[in-house]
Amino acid sequence: MSQTDFRLLLRLARRAPRIVWLVVALAGVWWPAAPASASFIEQMAVDARAIAMANTVTADPPGIGSIHYNPAGLSKLPEGKQIGAGLALPVIKITSQYDADPDFEGFFGGYNDDPLAGTEGTNSSGHMYVPIVNESIDFLIAPTLGLSYRPPNSRWSYAIGNYVPFGVGFAHDDDMDPVRYGAKRVYEQHLVYLAPALSYQVTPKLALGVSVGAGQTALGATVDMRSPNDLVALTRVLGDATKDLEIPVLSELTLPPPWFGGGVGPYDQVASMQMDMRDDFSPNYNVGLLWDPMKWLSAGIVYQSPVKVQMTGQYRFDYTETFQKMINWMGSSPTLVTVSGMLNLPMNAVPYQTGTVTSEFELPQRVQMGLKLKPFERLSLLGDLHWANWSVLKEDRFVFDQDIQLLQLVKVLGYTGGNRNLVLQRDFKDTWSWSVGLQYQLTNWLTFLAGYEWRPSSVEMSHFDNLYCLPDMHSYAAGFSIMTKNHIQIDLGFDYLVGKDVYVPNNGSDLLNSTDPFKPVYNPYAGLDYSQKTETFIGAFKMTMPWEVMTGMLDHTLSLLNPFD
């Protein structure tokens, strides 16, 4: 051990009581409470260096990525102009298993042979919305781009960038995949397409920063719909029992056979729904502080504002022939016309309905705080604590521009959302997540990065479904940072996230498998036990360099391509 390292060790020993107090205090807060079982969609693929550190960067923000993680970190950038660009490639794998509940006695009429029992589904790909071209693709990619500038001898630093702080999406394209009744395709993402930022070095040890983001939020879902339910099964039982019940004149005036047009079986598909919405201007802001009281200690904190979203888009409901027969039966006699009119039930079936849908919700405000300890010159130890206000999301409410025949009909089964509103109860919980990381400088040009993050889900198990199907996650990350002789920094990050195994027994969730006949919206797997395994792999790359280096590289490349040079 060198004399320098020995002096540092003695200095660290003298400060041990304070360090121990800090670690114990943080551990007391970090230790997770009983997990709620969607913090997973937040800052999953923002910056390569942050990914390699499992997002443990609040006290040591990642260059131009400070715009998101802690704008005060822009003061750490060198003087002059800097440019950074990168991308992250997430690969999500979700495997769902549906098994018959041996204690389930079946639906009315003895229906207890669900064709989905014993089946399994795995998403075939990711899924995301691509701005400008206004299309969705079966792929996930998160690009980043940033520019920064600090005048010589100035306390001010300026930057502008874009990134994706929230995002997730997946597709189940196999026509036999059982997940299609819960979420055939889904994506939710928030892209900050322009985020100007600035920081000010108040003192040599204290910096403040702020960024303002102009963003676009997009959401889409495709679902095949069915309703295994006692009351639905009853319509099929009565339809089968009355198919030959023809009483001349009386039947045509009252209840023409077969009743309910033959009825709908509990395992029959009744419709398919597709929605695609976006809000092209959903702003937010970040405010951060970075404090370096000692050479061996840094602290940071950032507040990230909520994102209020007002989305508008298009929807389409396609109805099956079985469903249409039931609707037409509602208007097939004077008696039924009278009853249907009193109950505001549909009487003239249509093959599909399409139009405009709107939705309002809020992506949560967040607070991140972190410490960085530097016991030796080449080693840094970091810890972060993150809070997200997911409890603001009480429900999903989608408002359609006309009465939806499916919603009109299910209100007879107890649905209270209305003819034009699809309402799904969520009651999300706030989340406290924590992470630790380290940096070790192997050589003057190569630094090893690693980290671990605990990412609890905000989803209540009593409302678990295939749309918000991301459970508590463990994140294991590593990477490298390379600095070349001409001051080009290359960051590589790799992350493996594995979810806790999910098990929802039959009747365990009122948005998945509840057998309550008065909860038809939406329990497509009533009578089945559900289990799930989740894995995600992320690879990320970012390159940062002085503006002069980039322009020089471009000039050199163009000169090579110019045949007249």
H/E element holding 96? Answer: strand 80-100
- Write out the two tokens for 522: 């939406």
Q: In one letter, which amino acid is 249?
A: V
Q: Is the per-residue pLDDT at 47 higher than 60?
A: yes
State mean pLDDT over 109-138: 92
Mean pLDDT of the chain: 89
pLDDT of residue 44: 86
| Residue from 226, 278, 239 nearest 114 by CA | 226
State mean pLDDT over 132-155: 92
Q: Which residue has the tokens 């498998």?
A: 513
pLDDT of residue 43: 86
565 falls in which pLDDT band (50, 70, 90)?
low
pLDDT of residue 557: 74
C-alpha 53/C-alpha 477 separation (Å) is 6
The separation between CA 255 and the C-alpha centre of its own chain, rounded to angstroms, equals 48
C-alpha 182/C-alpha 549 separation (Å) is 51
- Write out the two tokens for 84: 């950074």
Q: Is 122 exposed, middle or buried (0-12, 13-18, 19+ CB in 10 A)?
A: middle
Does residue 436 sit in helix, strand or coil?
strand
State mean pLDDT over 438-453: 97
CB 447 within 8 A of CB 480: yes
Torsion angle of C-alpha atoms 125, 47, 367, 475, degrees rounded to 10: 50
- Write out the two tokens for 290: 């970075």
Domains and CATH numbers, the chain: 32-561 (2.40.160.60)
Radius of gyration of the chain (CA): 28
**Alpha helices for 184-333 (secondary structure H):** 230-241, 250-253, 321-329
Q: Is the per-residue pLDDT at 316 higher than 50?
A: yes
Q: Which residues of 379-408 are buried (b: 16+ CB within 10 A; e: fewer)?
A: ebbbbbbbbbbbeebeebbbebeeebbbbb
The separation between CA 382 and the C-alpha centre of its own chain, rounded to angstroms, equals 26
pLDDT of residue 12: 35
Helix axes 3-14, 16-30, angle to 10 degrees: 70
State mean pLDDT over 537-559: 87
Quick one: CA dihedral 547, 552, 557, 558, positive or negative?
Answer: positive
C-alpha 505/C-alpha 511 separation (Å) is 13
CB 290 within 8 A of CB 75: yes
Give the model confidence (pLDDT) of 59-112 as tens digits.
999 999 999 999 999 999 999 999 999 999 999 999 999 999 999 999 988 899
Q: Which residue has the tokens 């003819």?
A: 419
All residues at 6 or more sequence positions from 378 whose CB lies less than 8 Å from its CB, including other chains: 440, 441, 442
State mean pLDDT over 350-371: 96
- Residue percentage of the chain with pLDDT more than 70: 92
251 falls in which pLDDT band (50, 70, 90)?
confident
- Write out the two tokens for 281: 């201007």
Q: Is the per-residue pLDDT at 34 higher than 50?
A: no
State mean pLDDT over 26-45: 48
Is the full-model pTM beyond 0.85? yes
H/E element holding 88? Answer: strand 80-100
- Write out the two tokens for 564: 């007249």
C-alpha 144/C-alpha 543 separation (Å) is 10
CB 97 within 8 A of CB 120: yes
| Residue from 496, 366, 495, 504 nearest 431 by CA | 366
Q: Is the per-residue pLDDT at 322 higher than 70?
A: yes
Integer CA distances (angstroms), 389 to 26, 38, 217, 305, 308, in order: 20, 11, 18, 10, 13
Q: Is the per-residue pLDDT at 535 higher than 80?
A: yes
All residues at 6 or more sequence positions from 555 whose CB lies less than 8 Å from its CB, including other chains: none
pLDDT of residue 550: 85
pLDDT of residue 311: 96
CB 242 within 8 A of CB 258: yes
| Residue from 62, 33, 66, 60 nearest 49 by CA | 62
| Residue from 447, 494, 429, 500 nearest 469 by CA | 500
